[in-house]
Amino acid sequence: MSWPVVASRDLHRDDWVVALREDRITRPGHPEEFTRISLEHPGAVVVLAVDDDERVMCLRQYRHTSGHEFVELPAGLCDAGDEPPVETAKRELREEAELEASEWRPLLSTYGSAGISDEVHDILLARGLSHASRGDFALRHEEAEMERFWVPMDDLLDAVLEGRVRQGPLVQAVLVYAVLKQRGALDAP
């Protein structure tokens, strides 16, 4: 379902990731016009990489927009055309965590902030982990300062529930994993 768009103008558009657009819209059957700002985004994948000891590969990374350092999961933009999310996830896991996985499972697909952006997060579970070279990919900017570390899943779940870890996709991934595990919907490691 889409409401009628009377006019649209770009406030910002670049050739990297995002565009900021202002739309003038109406409600169906009502003549009143009003504006909404939309952040166009190609979407992202998020990888919950869990090893045989039920530890999760985490990253600590500074994010300028919020001015904070976050505990995150390997993730990246869906910026390679029509590449399936699992292929993007494989590349991001290799580039950011120097890991590859023999087992992949979609966990969740969510809108990060549907009121302002069309960005979708596809969250995938990666199991059967082993070391993989990142090849010629070079970590730059904030990624160059990124720290990789393993956290036991139970400790990470506690950190989520206590509010010590607040990065949205990580919280969603850990909670859905815990629910699926409780329901017996995940294969045992």
Segment 3-42, tens digit of pLDDT? 999 999 999 998 777 899 999 999 998 999 999 999 988 8
Residue 143 annotated in active site: yes
Q: Which domains does the chain have, with CATH numbers?
A: 5-40 (no CATH), 44-182 (3.90.79.10)
Q: What is the pLDDT of residue 14?
A: 86
Check residue 112 and give its pLDDT. 87
Strands 120-131 and 44-49 turn out to be parallel
Average pLDDT along the chain: 91
- Burial group, residue 44, by CB count within 10 angstroms (0-12, 13-18, 19+): buried
Select which of 40, 98, 100, 143 is catalytic: 143
The whole-angstrom separation of Cα 79 and Cα 43 is: 8
**Does the CA dihedral 51-49-148-93 come out positive or negative?**
positive
